[in-house]
A and B are shown apart, each in its own frame.
Chain A
Amino acid sequence: MVFEGLADKLQQTFKKLRGRGKLSEADVNEAMREVRMALLEADVNFKVVKDFISRIKERAVGQEVMESLTPGQYVVKIVNDELTNLMGGTQSRITISSKPPTVVMLVGLQGAGKTTTAGKLAHYLKKQNKRPLLVAADIYRPAAIKQLEVLGEQLEIPVFSLGDRENPVTIAQKAIQRALAYANDIVIIDTAGRLHINEELMQELKSVKQAVKPHEILLVVDSMTGQDAVTVAENFNQQLGLDGVILTKLDGDARGGAALSIKAVTGCPIKFAGMGEKLDALEPFHPDRMASRILGM
C-alpha cells in the first residue's frame, strides 16, 4: 500500500532509538537524517521536509524528551503528531449548500483523473440520495465529452453537454438552469486539464467561477506527483481559491508525498482519495489515519 515504504524506514530508524535510555543530540541528528531521506524518497516537497525536520529536531532535543523514560518512543510520538498536523488533523467533508444545487467544480493538470473522479463523486453522492448532474465543460480534449457521457450512462446519472462549440462559462450556466428545472441538487462540473501557467485557460476557470460561484472548487491531484505538486497547488489556489483537494491513483505504490506537501503549503484539506479506475473507488480521506499509516503505528 501507499506510504508503506516510508513507514518501514521510520520504524527501522526508531527501533534503533527505542532501545536506548537516553538520546544524545547526535542520535537525534542521525534519526532525522533518515527521516529526511525517507520523506524525500516519498516525494514530500524538499522545503516542506526542511521545515518539518527542524520542527521535530527542536522538540526532540528539548527537555520533555530528555526527561521521559523512553525518549526514542517519545520522538516517534512527536513525529507522528507533527505529521498528523501536517496532514490536516481531522477529516474534511464537502459543503452541501442549503440552497440547492450545490455546485462542485473539478480542476487540475492534464491526466490527473478529473473526469473519472467526477463520475466517482457523482456516484458517491447518489448513494447518499442526492440527485447529481454531471457537466461536460472540457471542450478541448479529444472525446472528453464522450468519456463523461459513457461514465454517466454506466452510472445512470444525467450528463449535461452542449458539445464542444459553446464555451465553458455558457455550459456551466445552462447546466445550473437545467439542474434547477429538473431538481438536481448537485452539479459536478468536469473541466479540461490545464497547466497552472497557462494564463488563458486559467482565466477561463476564473470566468466559470465568477459565473456560477461553485460551493466547492476541488483540485484533482495525481498521488504520483513529485516536487511540482506544491507549485501546481499554490498556483491553482492563488488563482481560484481552492476548497480542497482530491488525491487520485492511491491504489498504486506511490508514497504520496504530494498529499503532505500540498496540505502543508496551501492549507487546503484533502477531501477524497481515488483508489482505482472503477467508479466506486472513491473514499473520504482521513488525514489522521493516513499519518499513522505513514509511521506504521
Chain B
Amino acid sequence: TGHGKIDEELLDDLEAILLSADVGVKTTGKLMQNIKAAIKKNEIQTADQLKPFLQDQINSILTGGETDGGKDYPAPFIIMVVGVNGVGKTTTIGKLGHYYRQQGRKVLLAAADTFRAAAIDQLEIWAGRTGAELIKHSEGSDPAAVAFDAVQAAKARKADVLIVDTAGRLHTKSNLMDELKKIRRVIAREIPDAPQETLLVLDATTGQNAVNQARTFGDVVQVSGVVLTKLDGTAKGGVVIAVKEELGVPVRWIGIGEGMDDLRPFDAAEFAGALFADK
C-alpha cells in the first residue's frame, strides 16, 4: 500500500489477506463491503487508509468481553474448560493455574478428562509445576463424579479458583456433548451461578469449523469466552471474528506457546494489527 489510488488489485490484496487469515468468506465479504461503502462516501480516500480502516472495523467487532480475571466473583471461582480434541485445553489450564497462583490464590484443578490416555497424568504434572492441588479419580471413571468431588473439595479447602479439565470431544457427537452438560449441571447444583466461566478453547490453526464448534458448545454449555491457542505459529486465528460477530462470544485469552507463562489476556487492537503484520 501507498498513498496512491485505490484500485481493484489493491482491494483484491486486502481480501487475500483476510481470507488467508481464516477470516472466512462471509465475514471477509462483509468487511470488503464496508470498505467499498466507505470509499464511496469518501471516508477512505487514499490507499494507506485501507488497512487502518479494516483494523478499526475488526477491533470494534472484537472489543468487549475482555477478562477481568475472575476478580468480582465470590470464591470458589469455577472455570470449566471445553473444546474439541487437541486444541490445548489441558495446557491452558496449566497456564491459567499458574496465572492465579502468581496472584497468590489457592487453585484446584479437576481431572475430569477420564477418557484420553494419560490425560490425568498430564494434568497432574501441570498441578505439580504450578503448585495447584489436583482432584482426580481413576481413568475411565465418571467425569461428573470428579467434578462433584472437586466442587466439594473447593468449598471445604476454601479454594479461590477451581478449573475443570474435560476430555476433548467433537461437537458433532451428541452423547459426548450430553456428558458435558451433565458435568455442568453437577457443578451448578452445588453452587448456583457456577461455573462462572466456561471457556471454549479454539486452536488458531482451525479454519471455518471453529464457528460450528463455538455454536454447538455454546448451545450445550453456555460458553462465556474463548481461549485462542497456538498463536505462536503462522496461523492468525481470524475465524474468531466470525465467532464474535455471529455468536457474540468474546475472546478472553490467547495462548502463545507451550510453557506456563505463554498465556496473555486478549487484546483486540493487537490482534487486529497482527492480521496484517507481515503483509
Q: Knowing A252-B171, A277-B85 touch, does A197 contact B208 (C-beta < 8 A)?
A: no
Tally of A-B residue pairs with Cβ under 8 A?
132
Chain B, range 15-70, C-beta contacts under 8 Å to A? 16, 19-22, 24-26
Q: Knowing A142-B122, A143-B122, A252-B170 touch, does A41 contact B206 (C-beta < 8 A)?
A: no
User: How far apart sit A40 and B27, CA to CA, in the bound complex (Å)?
Assistant: 12
A271 contacts partner chain B, Cβ-Cβ < 8 Å = no
Flag if B19 contacts A46 (CB, 8 Å).
Answer: yes
Chain A residues with CB under 8 Å of B87's CB are: 111
A143's contact among B20, B125, B232, by CB below 8 Å, is which?
Answer: B125
Distance (whole angstroms) from the CB of A57 to the closest CB of chain B:
17
Flag if A224 contacts B232 (CB, 8 Å).
Answer: no
B205 contacts partner chain A, Cβ-Cβ < 8 Å = yes
Flag if B88 contacts A224 (CB, 8 Å).
Answer: no
User: How far apart sit A143 and B124, CA to CA, in the bound complex (Å)?
Assistant: 9
Interface residues on B, range: 35 or more
- A–B Cβ pairs within 8 angstroms, 28 of them: A40-B19, A41-B24, A41-B25, A45-B20, A110-B86, A113-B86, A142-B94, A143-B119, A144-B118, A150-B117, A197-B234, A222-B206, A224-B203, A224-B206, A224-B209, A225-B205, A225-B206, A226-B206, A226-B208, A226-B235, A227-B21, A228-B233, A228-B235, A232-B234, A251-B172, A253-B172, A254-B207, A277-B85
User: How far apart sit A188 and B124, CA to CA, in the bound complex (Å)?
Assistant: 27
Flag if B25 contacts A37 (CB, 8 Å).
Answer: yes
A263 contacts partner chain B, Cβ-Cβ < 8 Å = no
Chain B residues with CB under 8 Å of A225's CB are: 205-207
B121 contacts partner chain A, Cβ-Cβ < 8 Å = yes
Distance (whole angstroms) from the CB of B154 to the closest CB of chain A:
23
Distance (whole angstroms) from the CB of B145 to the closest CB of chain A:
21
Distance (whole angstroms) from the CB of A76 to the closest CB of chain B:
22
**Bitwise interface map of A from 156 to 197 toward B, beta carbon under 8 Å scored 1, else 0:** 000000000000000000000000000000000000000111
User: How far apart sit A109 and B230, CA to CA, in the bound complex (Å)?
Assistant: 10
Flag if B209 contacts A111 (CB, 8 Å).
Answer: no
User: How far apart sit A232 and B239, CA to CA, in the bound complex (Å)?
Assistant: 18
User: How far apart sit A146 and B139, CA to CA, in the bound complex (Å)?
Assistant: 13
Chain A residues with CB under 8 Å of B96's CB are: none
Interface residues on A, range: 35 or more
15 new A-B contacts, CB < 8 A, other than A141-B122, A150-B118, A249-B84, are A43-B209, A110-B86, A110-B230, A112-B86, A115-B117, A143-B121, A143-B124, A146-B121, A147-B122, A150-B139, A151-B117, A225-B207, A227-B235, A228-B233, A249-B85
Chain B residues with CB under 8 Å of A148's CB are: 117
Chain A residues with CB under 8 Å of B1's CB are: none
User: How far apart sit A278 and B16, CA to CA, in the bound complex (Å)?
Assistant: 38
User: How far apart sit A197 and B232, CA to CA, in the bound complex (Å)?
Assistant: 9
Flag if B233 contacts A109 (CB, 8 Å).
Answer: yes
Distance (whole angstroms) from the CB of B19 to the closest CB of chain A:
4
A195's contact among B170, B206, B233, by CB below 8 Å, is which?
Answer: B233
User: How far apart sit A254 and B171, CA to CA, in the bound complex (Å)?
Assistant: 11
Distance (whole angstroms) from the CB of A35 to the closest CB of chain B:
12
Chain B residues with CB under 8 Å of A37's CB are: 25
A257 contacts partner chain B, Cβ-Cβ < 8 Å = yes
User: How far apart sit A3 and B276, CA to CA, in the bound complex (Å)?
Assistant: 30
Chain A, range 37-53, C-beta contacts under 8 Å to B? 37, 40-43, 45-46
Chain B residue nearest in CB terms to A50: B16
Distance (whole angstroms) from the CB of A162 to the closest CB of chain B:
17
Chain B residues with CB under 8 Å of A227's CB are: 19-22, 207, 235
Chain A residues with CB under 8 Å of B124's CB are: 143
Flag if B172 contacts A252 (CB, 8 Å).
Answer: yes
Chain A residues with CB under 8 Å of B119's CB are: 143
Distance (whole angstroms) from the CB of A225 to the closest CB of chain B:
5
**Bitwise interface map of B from 163 to 207 toward A, beta carbon under 8 Å scored 1, else 0:** 000000011100000000000000000000000000000010111
Chain A residues with CB under 8 Å of B235's CB are: 226-228
A266 contacts partner chain B, Cβ-Cβ < 8 Å = no
Chain B residue nearest in CB terms to A252: B170
Chain B residues with CB under 8 Å of A150's CB are: 117-118, 139
Flag if A226 contacts B239 (CB, 8 Å).
Answer: yes
Flag if B207 contacts A43 (CB, 8 Å).
Answer: yes
A255 contacts partner chain B, Cβ-Cβ < 8 Å = yes
A92 contacts partner chain B, Cβ-Cβ < 8 Å = no
User: How far apart sit A144 and B210, CA to CA, in the bound complex (Å)?
Assistant: 26
